[in-house]
Each structure stands twice: as C-alpha cells, then as structure tokens.
Amino acid sequence: MERENFGSKLGVVLAAAGSAVGLGNIWRFPVETGQNGGAAFIIVYLICIVLLGIPIMMSEFFIGRSTHLNAAGAYRKLAPGTKWNWVGRLGVLTGFIILSYYSVVAGWTAQYTVLSVANYFDGKSATDYIQIFNDCSANPWLSISAMLGFMLLTHFVVVRGVKSGIEKFSKVMMPALFIIIIILVICSVSLPGASKGVEYLLKPDFSKIDGSVILSAMGQAFFSLSLGLGCLCTYASYFDKDTNLGKTAFKVSIIDSFVAIMAGFIIFPAVFNIGYQLEGSDVGPSLIFITLPNVFQQSFTSLPILSYLFAVMFYFLLVVAALTSTISMHEVVTAYVSEEFNMIRRKAAWIVTLTCSFVGLFCALSFGPLSNVKIFGFSLFDFFDYVSSNIFLPVGGLLISIFIGWYLDKKYVKEEITNGGTIRVPYFKAFILILRYVAPIAIGLILLNQLGLFAFMK
C-alpha cells in the first residue's frame, strides 16, 4: 500500500504540535495546577517535560520514522519475533480509550461554542451556569449528539489522509489558535485584580509538593505532549528522511508548554478578578464550563460586547485545539487497523469512528443516567482518565525508554537520530543516559509510590 508523508517541515511541526496542544493544555492543565498548588506544580511539570518529555518524544519519533509503520508494526519491525509489539498494541488501546472520553469533553466545548455565539450567557447568574453545564453534560441526548458530532468531524479530516487532511488542517488551525491565545492573554492580564492570578502562577509554594503532585505532574506532561501511546510515533512514520528529530521534539515541547502556561494566564487572572477562591468546586473538571462563563460575563460589565467576544473566542479555541488532538489519536488507531488488517484507509477509519463512538456513549452517559456506576470509586469517565493518563501513558513511556535505552543497538539509534550522520547531535550521550537510567527509574519509582507498593513519599 502506498504510504503518504507530510509535505513540509512546518507541516510536521504544526501537525505534531496540533496533537500535543489540546484540551490537555487548556482544560486539564489549569485544573491540575489549581488542584496541586499552583506555581510549584508548574515547576515539577516543566522538569518532567525536559527530563522525560523531550527524550521520550525523540524516542517515539525515532521508532516511527525508522520504520514508517503504525505503532504495533513499528515495534515488530525493530524487534522481530519478540513481545515488544505489545507495547505498540497497548498504545493503540490507550489511544482508543482516551479518544472515547476526550470526545465527550470536546463535545461540550462544541456545545459551549454554539451557546456563546448565540449569546446565551448574557445576563445569567453564577447558579445558572451550574444548571447550564448540567444540561449540557447530564442530558444524554445533548452530550451524546455533541460527542458523535465531534467524532464525525475528526473522522472527516482523518479520511482525507495525511497531507490533505491532517497537515492542511493543522497549518490553518494552529496559527489561528496562537492568535486567539495571545488576544485572550492580553485581555485577561489587563483585568483589575489580575495580578493575584499572575502571582499564583509565578510564586511557588514548595510545601505543596508530595508524591501525588509529582505523579500528577508527570501524568500531565505525558498527556499534554501526547506521549506514551505511539501517537507521535505514528506521526513520525510520515516524516521525511531529513527531518531533524531532536529539533522537532524540542520545538513541539516548547510550543506545547507555552500554550499550557498561557492558558493559565488566561484563566487564573480572570478567575481571581471576580474573587473566586481556588479551592473546592471552583476548580475541577468543570472549571472552564461553570467558572469561566461567569468570569467572562463579570469581567467586562461595562462593555458586554467584550464578554461576548471573549467567550466566543475561548470556546472556539478549545474546539480547534481539541480537534487537532482527536485527529491524532484517531490516526493512531486508524493506521493500526488499516495496516495490520490490510484494509483501505476509509474502511479502517469508519471502524475506528464507530467503535470509539460506542465506548464514548458510556463515557458521555457517566455524567447523567450512568453517574451511579462506579469502578473503584471512580465514575466511568474519571476511571478512563485516571487509568489511561496516570498509568498507561507512564507505563508506555517506561517501556519506550527501556526499549531504546537497553534493547536496541545504539549504533542504529544514532544513525537514525543523526539522519545517517548528516546532522550533529551533541546531546546523543545524554539522550541515551536519560533513557537508560533517569527515565525508567523516575517513572518506575513514581508509579510504584502511587500504587502504594513502595512508599517513599506520602
């Protein structure tokens, strides 16, 4: 079967950044930051990005580009006759799970875009927003149709293929997203009382750091960079021979962290502006759906048109960010189904869309009719989120680092990372050192600690 490649270097960076930048940055990151103590959490998070994120991203790029195959096929080619291809399969499964619950939240962002365009938030009070969110999330018809709509949008970009679907879409949407972010940051930090929010993001309180904060920061780093499930490995399988893997990983990580922190600068100053406390129900998954619409309304009481524009831009931003990410997860599973089962792309994509929507149904219903169904005390949605990002992604990252740090021949790895010796990679030794020791030990300890098997931190 003829395999496509991305058409340009810019396309490569924007597509990978499109995968990385998503609800993880704008929805999950502020919530995690708020729940884990602000600036101190951000510092641990950034350490995880540099120490674990960039090397593991390079590893995924390496695996994909050196094989030009889907996640499971790639491991099979690099380690024939071994069980390593199960790492790829675990990744595909994780991608499938994340896509199903992620589309539910993405569906809410689409509902909120429609509501804000229709100026529905105008004149509402704080309690109304709770009701509005309940209507959007607990009403099975609304949340299911929004989730299905989002899945179909994703589907139609993916079936168009790598170059004219994924790359083209990212090239238009990512610059639009940057512009919206900058406008929103400027608006938000110029609000009265914003300095408290800025301080919250910049003044660390290290007494807040404990084992679970570190696990959350690591989980967030993996989630946000799209690591651990072969997503960037699949994208890298469409890279050209002359793409600089190290530089690309570096650029994507910078863009991703920048957007996450900017999202903090949009959300926290605005939240502090209307005097919300960052405890209790003001921060939680509903932060951007209950707290923020109120913040938007109250921020510009003298100029309501600004409230309107702020809300419309913000929710549109979320939709775009979410869509470039759902596309990347869909692509992981689609590439896998199509190549491993020898199927044309369109058929594979339909299979993925339909099965994922089916699982997504249950996640959507876990906020309404199925809210009493609990697994280990978690709702279905929270269970999927917790297991996939705090367990499967780090385990995926751990196995990837062992695979490259210990299993593969370093000469071969170096050959690929330096594009056959044509580019200098002075940090190659450090890269291998991290994959051999730092990453496996750090991820291993944090995971064991969290599972309670080896408690070195409370």
Query: Given the rule CB under 6 A, which residues bind ligand TRP?
Result: 19-20, 22-25, 98, 223-224, 226, 229, 231, 325, 328-329, 393
**Count of other CB atoms within 10 angstroms of residue 457:** 14
Query: What's the min distance (Å) between Cβ of 300 and ligand TRP?
Result: 28
Written as one string, the DSSP assignment of 439-450 is HHHHHHHHHHHH
Residue type, 73: G
Q: Which is nearer to ligand TRP, 24 or 38 (CB)?
A: 24
Q: Which is nearer to ligand TRP, 256 or 340 (CB)?
A: 256
Query: What's the min distance (Å) between Cβ of 426 and ligand TRP?
Result: 29
Residue with the CB atom nearest ligand TRP in the bound state = 24
Q: Which is nearer to ligand TRP, 154 or 297 (CB)?
A: 154
Query: What's the min distance (Å) between Cβ of 29 and ligand TRP?
Result: 8
Q: Which is nearer to ligand TRP, 231 or 292 (CB)?
A: 231
Give the residue carrying structure tokens 């170096």.
414
Q: Which is nearer to ligand TRP, 170 or 273 (CB)?
A: 170
Q: Which is nearer to ligand TRP, 29 or 129 (CB)?
A: 29
Task: Indicate the DSSP class of residue 455.
Answer: -
Q: Give dist(CA 388, CA 98) in Å, integer.
A: 7
User: What are the tokens at 235?
Assistant: 């994208």
- DSSP 3-state assignment of 271? helix
The answer to whether 346 and 159 are in contact (CB under 8 A) is yes
Query: What's the min distance (Å) between Cβ of 220 and ligand TRP?
Result: 9
Q: Give dist(CA 311, CA 298) in Å, integer.
A: 12
Query: What's the min distance (Å) between Cβ of 415 and ligand TRP?
Result: 27
Cα-based distances in Å from 216 to 12, 193, 341: 29, 29, 36
Query: What's the min distance (Å) between Cβ of 28 and ligand TRP?
Result: 7
Q: What is the largest CA-CA distance in the chain?
A: 68
Query: What's the min distance (Å) between Cβ of 249 and ligand TRP?
Result: 14
3-state secondary structure 343-406: CCHHHHHHHHHHHHHHHHHHHHHCCCCCCCCEECCEEHHHHHHHHHHHHHHHHHHHHHHHHHHH
Q: Please report, to the nearest 10 degrees, the dihedral formed by the alpha carbons of residues 154, 354, 335, 348 taken in order.
A: -120
Query: What's the min distance (Å) between Cβ of 393 and ligand TRP?
Result: 6
Q: Which is nearer to ligand TRP, 224 or 244 (CB)?
A: 224
Residue type, 216: S
Q: Give dist(CA 108, CA 136) in Å, integer.
A: 7
Q: Which is nearer to ligand TRP, 257 or 299 (CB)?
A: 257
Query: What's the min distance (Å) between Cβ of 93 and ligand TRP?
Result: 12
Q: Which is nearer to ligand TRP, 299 or 326 (CB)?
A: 326
* Dihedral of alpha carbons 439, 440, 445, 451, sign: positive
